[in-house]
Structure 1
Amino acid sequence: AGTPWATVAELAAPAAGRGPTAANRDNPPTPALFVLLGPDSDVGRPLARRRYAAGLAALRRWKAALPAGSPHADVVTHLSAPGRRLDTGHAVKTLRAARQARIPAVLTNAVRYAAPDGAATADVLDAVRALSSLDALHDLQPNGQGWLKSTAAMHRIAHEVAFAADDRPAPLLEATRRLAEACALDPETDLGWGVPRVPEAAVIGIDGPPEHVLRERTRTGLLARYPHLHTGGGLPGTSQAARDLQDRAEHELGIITRLGFSSYFLTVAAVVDLIEGMGIRVAARGSGASSLVNHALRISHVDPMANGLIMERFLSTDRSTLPDIDIDVESARRHEIYRAVVDRFGAERTTLMSMQNAYRARGAVRDAGLALGMPEPEVDAIAKQLWRFSASNFREALQRMPELGGLSRRIESGRAEGDRQLDLLVDLTERLDRLPRHISMHPCGVILGDATLLHRTPVQPSGMGLPMSQFDKHDMDPMGFLKLDILGVRMQSAIAYTIAEVERTTGERIDLEQVPLDDPATYAMIRTTHTLGCFQIESPGQRELVGKLAPREFNDLTVDISLFRPGPMQSDMVRPFLEQRHGWAPAHYPHPDLRPVLAETHGVTVFHEQVLRTMDVMTGCGLARADEHRRLLGGPQEHLVEEAFRTGALARGYSLEVIDEVWATLSAFGSFGFCKAHGAAFAVPTYHSAWLKTHHPAAFMAAILEHDPGMYPARLMVAEARRMGIPVLPVDVNASSRHVHVEWVPAHPEIDDGAPGRWGIRLPLTSLSGLSEAETDRLDAGRPYRSLADVRDRARPTARNLERLAQLGALDCLLPPGGASRTDLVHHLELQHSTTRGTAPGRTAPRSRSARPRQVEGQLALDLPDTELTALAPLFPDPGPAARVRTELELTALDVTAHLMDSHAPYLVVPNAGNADTVVAAFQERAAGFDVTVTDESAATSLIAVQG
């Protein structure tokens, strides 16, 4: 491995994974580590039990097995009472055994906590780790001495142990000092601190210097992205735009080469190529979209030239840390990508990133209650009352939160009766606040490195079984790790699903990269504010903003996304922007030099990029230095930026009045700025989702229902589809599958007005609550069904779920024309079920399995008449529309065949009443603060009640 730290990191992996022991006394690690043989070792345990000879023999075995200087006896005393665990007598025996075995003895305090009052916390954590109560734990702290003591305190302990052993303290203290010095790590040589390491050239798949390969791939990518700026022979054109493109590429490549990051960009490109090769949507987000090189390598789909983005916002020679490139992928396939990345680069070069989960109020009270041995239901009831405050404020919250009044009274009552268990629960809960509880997989971080990666970070298996670093995101930059955030975005899954449904149903293969970003119909739809389901612009506030902003081009979407943030909203940036955009107020520019910088936002500073350009224009500091200044805005060093800005602007001849006005804007910008590259990266899927909703509405709404990428419940999405004129088809055992899908609906003479029909949305089998995964799989695999018996035999739903399928109308396709009704079928199945279970029809029976014998998987349906349903007498009428909707809501939480309000329509034809499109004007509710979504057959309207 090369260094002792590398050995420790390698040993941690099997230890954390609870796999086979990587090293032991018979198989020592290489290079050798210092081994402390303390109170809990096979040396210390027999010494504590007065088996001195056994402890000494174990110590000698360690000495024989390990290289000279590796084993050390760990002398510990917590000054316990004689005969108790960690008493001074135990320390004396350890010291004597070390002297007799001729190995060094060192003094430690077996530290478990930082401060003297931490013993109880350590005991609680031990109990939680053992899933035990404190009463059942055998290794409680003997006292409160296991804390990180001062040098003076440890010197006193050394003298006490030496005196009791009839020895001198100096050798013990000197050996301890030497070991501490030998264990000191050099961050650079031992940890590789700050030295970026990426997979080797052969692993990335490059031949030759990375700088040359990156330049060639950038040239090829630019030709593909900008063919109109190249000659027929693939050479750069001679137009100004072509020269600007080449100059920008050379500028970026120069920065990347000087920083030595060529391999980094090629590695990220290899990951993106891998994901695209799997047929998965992928796109960069954040400041990485600023880079033309990223655009050429297909890492980003945002054109930085057309959008006026700045490389220095992403990377510059003034900032030498690895750039941060985040990529969005289809959420439904994120784990598939992780496995593919590990397979592509190797488990020795790839780990997932971890995150340290700390205690919050509810988790802390549950674990404290476990340690105290309290009944789980009681602890759970208390935990459910804890919200909106940290665990460390538990006792204070008892005094000020009315909902905790009952618990507070119980604590006082118990205290009066001498029962302090609940009192202790509060104390222990407060102690646990913010302490690490466990390690888990980061939701998106992947670490890539060279063959030495596992020598630099300890790893353990993640919940997926893939290697996971024990370091979290805060360790990545100092350690020089290449961290790639692969974020699962459900809208990307919805877009992919839409494209697949369009191709399945029409044969058309949509390439969104070829879709123009200036489609008038798409922007017209957005301006209607009917944007439910569209990425980033579906919330009530966003629908209000897009209605006021009235986007007409792609940059308008970038501005909209950038403005809809807490800072701009709270700083009242939106109002002046809208007034100046629509000409209601004149655009204001502090100086004519800033007009080119602020023209796209009508004089209002919205983007980080505008801050950089403003500083550069007025001071000449350069974009790289301007970005470093921007990072300091709003922080304790902002005064340094102000001094540099004022000095530079004065030197360039700007008046104090202009400087004061511009600086006021820049200073305030620290609280509300937004990176335009990030806004543009989000605007791409925003536009694509709106384009798909405009031009392929049925497939898009089916994808929204399938992947649920937004903030609204499925019922509202069904209402939106109905508003758009898309038929929503109910669950049907022959037509429904596991997934939502698009289905052709023949023309209805009263609706389609001569059209041949339209595309509708068929709801899936999974819409029925209570249907198990196995039942769903069998129902899906067995389609089509010829008879009720066929469903029973091959799908084998429980009798209760078969009834529920019938109630929902999913078995209507099996009913003979002109024969029994849905109500007849439901009654028939209830009668069968009650007969089997011995309960009366309508009474609740225990959950049961099908009475039919198990059939062979994959058995085909026989084309035989359904004698069971044919013989069923038609006694009852079909349920009416209102009854159907009630059943649908009960079983699926969706009103499918009609809107819930349809049956109430006759009662709403009164003055001052209207549908959701007009209800805003009649809204008279005076209770302040409620956010209300009103839906009917016409629309969904969001209202916020304010004080009238």
Structure 2
Amino acid sequence: MSDFCHLHCHTEYSLFEGCIRIEDLCSRAVEYKMPAVSITDSGNLFGAMKLYLKAREYGIKPIIGCEVNLSPEKITDRDSFNYHLVLLAMDLHGYHNLVRLVSAGWMQGFYYKPRVDKDMLQTYSNGLIALSACMEGEVQYLLRTKGFDHALEAARQYASIFPDRFYLELEASGLKDQAEVNGRLMEMSEKTGLPMVATNDCRYLAPQDAEAYAALRCIQKNERLDHHNLNSRELYFKSPEEMEKEFSHCPTALENVQKIIEQCGLDLEYPKRHLPKYTPSAEDTLDKELVALSEKGLEEKLANLPYEVDRDEYFTRLDKELKVICEQGESWYFLVVHDYVSWAKSRGIVVGPGRGFAPGSMTAYALGITGVDPIRHRLYFEKFFNTKTGLKDIDVDFCHERREEVFEYLREKYGQANAVYPSVFVASKARVVLRDVGQVMGFSLDQVEQITSLIPEKIGITVSKALEMEPALRNLMNDNEEMQRYLDICKRLDRLVRHVSIHAAGIVISNEKLQSYLPLYSDQNKAIVSQYDWDDLRRLGFIKFDFLGLKYLSLISRTLALIKVNKKQVPDMENLPLDDTLTFDLLDGGLTEGVFQLESSGMRNTLMDLTPTCFEDIIALHAIYRPAFLQNGIDKDFIKRKHGLVSVEYPHPDLEPILNETHGLIIYQEQLMEIAQTLAGYSLEEGDTLRRVLGKKEATTMAEQREKFIQKARDKGLDQLTAKHVFELMERFASYTFSKSHSVAYSMIAYQTAYLKAHYPEEFQRALSMVFNNQ
């Protein structure tokens, strides 16, 4: 194993200042037998956690750092000129200080770029190693512009801020004046005893990427590539042998690389989850609070239901769920969600009936988090909370126009510093890359559009994949040297992170000030955002709550307000009769403009062919009007079965109660769970596990599950042939079955909007114009 690694490295998360993909970086480091790999992106820590996790995966040490922008005076100065300084975290304390510095650079010091100053460095220097950076570092810059003495003074100042942890950075960058500056730095080291370290300011992975990197810089600056001065082709991830050759005249600079690697030992494996602190208002524990609120809520629900139910069945189900929730330590989660949903409803903010898997929970129903009866619609808690795989997120839809009020409530309740949005990293897509590179290479718009039109219409298509699939595109590359150059650059830049934005629906809440744990920034609207995306935050033990703004809930809200203004009876939207004649007449006629998810021409045609006669038909329609079902003709089969044009048969009599509402077809994931329970004695949790295995279709696991199902079914008295036939049916349908929980909840919104349109057409149409046409 080599003792060298690159300590100054810009990945694609430097946003137009680097084009190294993190996986490629780690792979190359392993190929070179390097003991560690670092990340020092420009002014941010966007990719830090990804590098950390990927390096661990590759079995090498991650070194987390940042090349910060340093204001010559104070961050309050409005001067766009900045020096560069590389900071590396030695340990957890150093990482926290790096996080604080980078966050402050964005939150307090931003002026064109995030900036820090020396006072901030002094405050947060512990646990950090500092390198004097590139030619734009203060020491190097002063050497080039003001002379040795000025540079020496700056170096000594850094050495006092970072005692025994400041290094003069010698680079093998190939830039003009680099060799001369390196010589002066060596002279300074000899005079002061300040240690030197060898780096290369890596911006791209291989020498062949130099022109692609130049194109990337031109895209950012809106310059022509042929006008760009490619100062160096040496800013690549050089091998240890190349670096040893570059610095053969200065072996101590290489030896110090090993010293720094040994000093850096960051461990980010947090032992705990960072949960929001919920304080019980009536009981002395979270579990007791949850039980009390749930039981009270269910009593109120049952008292208002417009249909008869078995009260004991509902409370038995609730007790069973609460036992699991409390045993698994998840009471806090339900209480937090219940709190903000209840707050929203108390302020007249319309909340959706649920989405995803949460409508399968009686606890969520009792707390008012969801609005559909899980027993009436045969929804299962085990689909939502499987103790083997954990609790699924509870995502909540709010009135689009008032969703921000809920965000603000949470920020006030838990503290502005304890609630942040996750980042989302947006990668450049094939057509965007083709257009951008074409522009900087001077291609005409018509020429670029002609090329982009050859890209196949496929989700996730890359330039490389398009070249494989489209002969006309390959011919362009083969026939024209300039086109070959163009497409080569495009392939190298394709799928690089292009910019960062805010998660559209999520907010992370903690019981601690997040600026101590997470690098933050604020956007143009002053929202506080984590520099990590949700995937990174989840791995660090943080919790995200999703609030989705739905315009159709705004439509419902506006319609109800107009009904009230017009002094008409306002309907109880949570307890509408689900067999309303006017509503089904409207649906049968395809008069669904403004009706949630039933507006498209294709959906209208399917709706009219189906002629729904019950709410279960609408649930099924939401499930089958999806690509996997449509491509296999299951929508047509369902409609024929409903109208008696195709006979309905069941593989076993016990399956009729399960498949009757879908006319013998397996449409819902929950039906797979029921079949496994009924015919083979699986628990609902085991049935959910089987359902997931069937959906993945992994050959070895499938064979094991087939044998297990058939044996368990035979143990319950089923013959071999029938058991095998049922398993094959489950296997066939598993890959495209849909969550009934989600379908029921969204069908409820569809029904609610259809009901309002059927009974209050004047108010509905006015609200529709207000919400969607801004009238």
TM range (shorter): 0.7 to 0.9
Tell whether 2:328 aligns with 1:328.
no
TM-score normalised according to structure 1 size: 0.65
Q: Determine the structure 2 residue equivalent to 1:102.
A: 193
Corresponding residue for residue 221 of structure 1: 297
- Equivalent residue in structure 2 for 1:55, among 147, 151, 155: 151
1:486-501 mapped onto 2 (5 Å cutoff): 486-501=547-562
2:437 to 348, 360, 368: 368
Q: SS of the residue aligned with 1:348?
A: helix
Q: Work out the CA distance in 2 between the residues paired with 1:94 and 1:136.
A: 32
1:95 deviates by 4.6
Alignment of 1:150-161 (within 5 A): 153-158=239-244, 160-161=246-247
Distance 2:276 2:491 in 1: 45
**Aligned-pair CA distance for 1:627:** 1.8
Conserved in 2, the CA contact under 8 Å of 1:42 and 1:58?
A: yes
The answer as to whether partners of 1:109 and 1:146 remain within 8 angstroms in 2 is yes
| d(CA) in 1 for partners of 2:150, 2:523 | 40
1:684-705 per-position Cα deviation (integer Å, ceiling 9, x unaligned): 1111111111101121122223
Deviation string 1:233-262 (CA, Å, 9 cap, x unpaired) is xxxxxx992222122112211222222221
Pairwise CA distance, 1:564: 1.2
CA contact (8 A) 1:618 1:648 kept: no
Query: For 1:139-158, what aligned pairs fall within 5 Å after superposition?
Result: 140-143=230-233, 145-149=234-238, 153-158=239-244
Letter in 2 for 1:499: L
Per the alignment, residue 744 of structure 2 pairs with 680
* Structure 1 vs Structure 2 CA RMSD: 3.4
Aligned partners of 2:513 and 2:264: how far apart in 1?
21
- Counterpart-to-counterpart distance in 2, 1:386 and 1:460: 39
Shift in Å at residue 397 of structure 1? 10
After superposition, give the CA deviation of every residue in 1:86-143 in whole Å (9 maximum; x if it has no partner): 44x54454355345433443333222122332222222333334444456767x4511
Pick aligned residue for 2:286 from 210, 227, 249: 210
State how 1:825-844 maps to structure 2 within 5 Å.
Answer: none
Distance 1:618 1:175 in 2: 68
> Secondary structure, in 3 states, of the residue corresponding to 1:254?
helix
Residue of 573, 583, 593 corresponding to 1:512: 573
Matched, 1:44 2:140: yes
Whether the aligned pair in 2 keeps the contact of 1:107 and 1:158 (CA below 8 Å) is no
Give the 3 Å change call, closer, same or farther, for CA 117–251 of structure 1 in structure 2: farther
Q: Which runs of 5+ in 2 are unaligned?
A: 1-90
In 2 relative to 1, CA 286–391 (structure 1 residues): closer, same or farther, beyond 3 Å?
closer
Answering whether residue 325 of structure 2 is matched by residue 260 of structure 1, we say no
1:479 aligns with 2:522: no
Distance 1:366 1:246, change over 3 A: same
**Aligned partners of 2:105 and 2:116 also within 8 Å:** no
What does 1:172-251 correspond to in 2, within 5 Å?
A: 172-189=253-270, 195-202=272-279, 208-227=284-303, 241-251=310-320
Native 8 Å contact 1:352 1:469 kept in 2: yes
Secondary structure of 1:114 counterpart: coil
Q: Distance in 2 between matches of 1:293 and 1:96?
A: 72
TM-aligned CA deviation for residue 501 of structure 1: 1.5
Asked whether 1:64 is paired with 2:135, we answer no
Structure 1 CA distance for aligned equivalents of residues 282 and 652 of structure 2: 50
Structure 2 Cα separation of the partners of residues 115 and 41 of structure 1: 24
1:349 equivalenced with 2:424 (yes/no): no
How far did 1:176 drift? 1.9
SS in 1 for 2:412: helix
Cα displacement (A) at 1:677: 0.2
* Aligned equivalent of 2:26: none
Alpha-carbon distance between aligned partners in 2 of 1:638 and 1:702, rounded to the nearest angstrom: 55
Of 627, 635, 657 in structure 2, the residue corresponding to residue 596 of structure 1 is: 657
Mapping 1:378-777, distance limit 5 Å: 388=456, 392=463, 396=467, 420=482, 424-635=485-696, 637=698, 639-653=700-714, 654-708=718-772, 739=775
> What's the secondary structure of 2:118's corresponding residue?
coil
**Structure with the greater alpha carbon radius of gyration:** 1
Alpha-carbon spacing, 1:677–1:58, altered in 2? closer, same or farther (3 Å): same
Alignment of 1:780-859 (within 5 A): none
Cα distance, 1:423 vs. partner?
A: 6.5
Are 1:11 and 2:11 an aligned pair?
no
Sequence identity, in percent?
25
| 2: CA distance, partners of 1:2 / 1:431 | 35
CA contact (8 A) 1:109 1:147 kept: yes
Task: Tell me, in whole angstroms, the C-alpha distance in 1 between the residues paired with 2:542 and 2:702.
Answer: 31
* Letter in structure 1 aligned against 2:132: L
**CA shift in 2, pair 1:101/1:282, >3 Å:** farther
8 Å CA contact retained: 1:460, 1:469: yes
* Number of the residue aligned with 1:926: none
Secondary structure, counterpart of 2:100 in structure 1: helix
Question: C-alpha deviations, 1:808-844, integer Å up to 9, x for none?
Answer: xxxxxxxxxxxxxxxxxxxxxxxxxxxxxxxxxxxxx
Matched residue, 1:304:
374
Within 2, Cα distance between the matches of 1:312 and 1:395? 42
Q: Does 1:270 align with 2:339?
A: yes
TM normalised by structure 2 equals 0.78
Tell me the distance in 1 between the aligned counterparts of 2:686 and 2:183.
Answer: 62
What residue is the counterpart of 1:293 in the other structure?
A: 363
Partner residue in 1 for 2:22 = none
Distance 1:159 1:539, change over 3 A: closer
Taking structure 1 as reference, are residues 446 and 626 closer, same or farther at Cα in structure 2, changes over 3 Å only? same
Q: Could you say what secondary structure the match of 1:687 adopts?
A: helix
Partner of 2:117: 24
Contact (CA 8 Å) 1:201, 1:207: kept in 2 or not? no
SS at 1:19's partner residue? Answer: coil
> What do residues 537-574 of structure 1 show as CA deviations (whole Å, max 9, x unaligned)?
23233223333333222222111211111112222323
Cα distance change, pair 384–173 in 1 and its aligned pair in 2 (3 A): closer
Cα 1:240–1:496 shift into 2, 3 Å: closer
Distance of 1:32 and 1:682 partners within structure 2: 52
Instruction: Count residues in correspondence.
Output: 670
Measure how far apart 1:47 and its partner are: 4.3
Offset at 1:426?
A: 4.4
**Separation (CA, whole Å) in 2 of partners of 1:61 and 1:695:** 77
Corresponding residue number in structure 2 for 1:113: 204
Contact 2:414 2:511 in 1 (8 A): no
Maintained 8 Å contact 2:200/2:235: yes
Are the structure 2 counterparts of residues 115 and 340 from structure 1 closer, same or farther at C-alpha, using a change threshold of 3 Å? Answer: farther
Equivalent-residue separation in structure 1 for 2:543 and 2:316 (angstroms): 28
Counterpart residue number, 1:775: none
8 Å contact 1:352–1:442 — kept in the other structure? yes
Question: Structure 1 pair 44/519, CA: closer, same or farther in 2 (3 Å)?
Answer: same
Residues 1:612 and 1:183: Cα distance change in structure 2 (over 3 Å)? farther
Q: Distance in 1 between matches of 2:345 and 2:97?
A: 37
Which letter maps to 2:287? Answer: E
Is the Cα contact below 8 Å between 1:618 and 1:649 reproduced in 2? no
CA separation of 1:396 and 1:375: change in aligned 2, threshold 3 A: closer
Q: Give the Cα separation in 2 of the matches to 1:401 and 1:336.
A: 52
